[in-house]
């Protein structure tokens, strides 16, 4: 779609100046409206939206103080704070320029103007106005879509989740850092989003970082940013996650996987609020509330020398532990119903419901992958269902995943594929170590990151 020409409003009390500006600007593709007095300018602003305004500072004959224009500028900033205003006067001075900028002008030119500089200035200010308005529209639309309460749904029918929800409601309004623990797939990211949405920082960014998945060589760049030329591939400046989250919340997932070397660098920023981009000596201060999550036992990690005790104390001002799904079976029906609605909408299937047999299968299942596994199971079932009823067969839950004991190696089905065998081994390892991914990975002889990739692949 062709973009409309930029609309420019110019105000000056001299007809020859207005005529010269109209000829110049129309020839450069601007849609120009001109007025000759402050009152006419305000009426024009009230009647239409402009991309930029170019206004004189003097309107009364023999007046050179610029007070009229400065007063007009202050009024414009109240009427439309997104409008870029450029001021001009034949009686320029450093003092009036500074005052104009302080009152909200975005640039300042003197008469007689240089055509190229004036055109470049106005094009820049048009882009800025449009960007500011687009940002405001997006924010308003997001707020409308989110509604009065942007908190994600937390299902808490079980007693144990009632206790969790009570803790969340008490700590959300605070500025305390929060450590969220629990097995893989229990919904730690959902809790982080809920806490942020219920906090005083809800209108500021929530930045999520998989801290354990960042290579050591990229850790500082990802979290603290870098400047151009800091290293071979640093072709531009980069803003790190801490700066992106300034004024808001930073969620550090998989915190136990951060190396000891990087733990020390993270601790310094958490203690002081000061950081330096890689390759820069400039110190930048950030105001960030930190949520961290892990399924590891951090106190055990501390005792075995893999995690800094002082960093643990910085992160767990308050600790929230999420129970596994097998410990909150009362929540399975409402969770399944929630996911069923979501996936039915996503895949445009209407009036989909679980049969009693399907619900029974869900309740009897072992759920080593917890809530995430339940979500994937429901999504798969919605896709596989032939009609409006989701059956036990549509869920395709393997018997080895149910609450019944897993079959011994000699009891494996003859038609088991290599992929199925790997999935089964992962499920057994998770069940043996109560969902602890670190210990399961160690038992399977793979890294945590490799096991996480397999868990995502199998929807566990």
The number of folded domains in the chain is 3
* Residue 235 confidence (pLDDT): 80
Per-residue model confidence as pLDDT tens digits over 129-188: 888 887 776 665 555 445 445 688 899 999 999 999 999 999 999 999 999 999 989 999
Please say whether the beta carbons of 430 and 365 come within 8 A.
no
Cβ burial of 116 (10 Å; 0-12, 13-18, 19+) is exposed
Residue 373 makes CB contacts below 8 A (sequence gap 6+) with 185, 325, 367, 459, 460
Q: For residue 458, is pLDDT > 60?
A: yes
* Residue 409 confidence (pLDDT): 43
Per-residue model confidence as pLDDT tens digits over 365-406: 989 889 999 999 999 899 888 888 889 998 888 643 444 334
Phi-psi map region of 185: left, alpha, beta (phi>0 left; psi -120 to 50 alpha): left
Residue 32 makes CB contacts below 8 A (sequence gap 6+) with 8, 9, 10, 21, 22, 25, 26
Q: For residue 239, is pLDDT > 60?
A: yes
Q: Which domain holds residue 103?
A: 7-143
Q: Considering only 97-106, 233-242, 293-302, 316-325, which range has the smallest mean pLDDT?
A: 97-106
Q: Are strands 178-182 and 318-322 parallel, antiparallel or unpaired?
A: parallel
Domain-embedded: residue 1: no
Maximum mean pLDDT: which of 58-62, 116-120, 230-234, 351-355: 116-120
Average pLDDT of the segment spanning 240-246: 90
Domain-embedded: residue 387: yes
Q: Tokens at residue 388, please?
A: 């409006």
* Residue 19 confidence (pLDDT): 92
Average pLDDT of the segment spanning 235-246: 86
Q: Residue 37: pLDDT band by 50, 70, 90 thresholds?
A: confident
User: Quick one: 177 and 313 in the same domain?
Assistant: yes
* Residue 418 confidence (pLDDT): 72
Q: For residue 334, is pLDDT > 90?
A: yes
DSSP helix/strand/coil, 170: helix
Beta bridge partners of 293: 180
User: Quick one: 179 and 294 in the same domain?
Assistant: yes
Domain ends where: 268, 295, 323?
A: 323
CATH number at residue 403: 1.10.8.60
Average pLDDT, the chain: 84
* Residue 181 confidence (pLDDT): 95
Domain-embedded: residue 298: yes
Give the predicted TM-score (pTM) of the model. 0.61
Domain-embedded: residue 106: yes
Domain-embedded: residue 149: no
């Amino acid at each position: 779609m062709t973009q409309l020409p930029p609309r420019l409003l110019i105000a000056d009390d001299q007809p020859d100046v207005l005529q010269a500006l109209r000829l110049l600007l129309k020839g450069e593709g601007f849609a120009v409206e001109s007025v000759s007095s402050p009152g006419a300018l305000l009426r024009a602003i009230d009647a239409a939206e402009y991309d930029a305004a170019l206004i004189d500072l003097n309107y009364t004959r023999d007046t050179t103080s610029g007070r009229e224009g400065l007063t007009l500028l202050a009024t414009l900033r109240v009427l439309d704070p997104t409008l870029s205003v450029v001021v001009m006067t034949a009686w320029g001075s450093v003092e009036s320029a500074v005052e104009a900028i302080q009152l909200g002008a975005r640039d300042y030119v003197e008469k007689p103007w240089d055509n190229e500089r004036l055109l470049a200035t106005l094009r820049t200010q048009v882009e800025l106005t449009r960007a500011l308005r687009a940002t405001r529209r997006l924010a308003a639309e997001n707020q409308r879509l989110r509604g009065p309460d942007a908190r994600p749904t937390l299902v808490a029918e079980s007693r144990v989740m009632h206790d969790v929800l009570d803790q969340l409601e008490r700590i959300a309004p605070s500025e305390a850092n929060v450590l969220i623990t629990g097995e893989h797939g229990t919904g730690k990211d959902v809790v982080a989003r809920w806490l942020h949405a219920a906090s005083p920082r809800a209108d500021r960014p929530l930045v999520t970082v998989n801290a354990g998945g960042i290579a050591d060589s990229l850790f500082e760049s990802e979290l603290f940013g870098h400047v151009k030329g800091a290293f071979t591939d640093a072709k531009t400046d980069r803003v790190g996650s801490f700066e992106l989250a300034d004024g808001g919340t930073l969620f550090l997932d998989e915190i136990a996987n951060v190396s000891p070397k990087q733990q020390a660098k993270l601790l310094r920023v958490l203690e002081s609020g000061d950081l330096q981009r890689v390759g820069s000596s400039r110190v930048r201060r950030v105001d960030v509330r930190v949520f961290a999550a892990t399924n590891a036992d951090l106190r055990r990690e501390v005792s075995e020398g893999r995690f800094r005790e002082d960093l643990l104390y910085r992160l767990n001002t308050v600790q929230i532990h999420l129970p596994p799904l097998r410990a909150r079976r009362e929540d399975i029906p409402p969770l399944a119903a929630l996911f069923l609605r979501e996936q039915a909408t996503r895949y445009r299937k209407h009036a989909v419901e679980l049969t009693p047999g399907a619900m029974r299968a869900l309740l009897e299942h072992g759920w080593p992958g917890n809530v995430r596994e339940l979500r994937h199971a429901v999504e798969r079932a919605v896709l596989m269902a032939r009609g409006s009823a989701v059956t036990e067969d549509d869920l395709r839950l393997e018997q080895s995943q149910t609450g019944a004991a897993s079959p011994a190696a000699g009891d494996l089905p003859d038609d088991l594929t290599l992929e199925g065998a790997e999935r089964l081994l992962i499920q057994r390892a998770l069940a043996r170590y109560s969902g602890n991914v670190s210990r399961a990975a160690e038992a399977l002889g793979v890294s945590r990151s490799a096991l996480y990739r397999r868990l995502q692949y199998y929807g566990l």
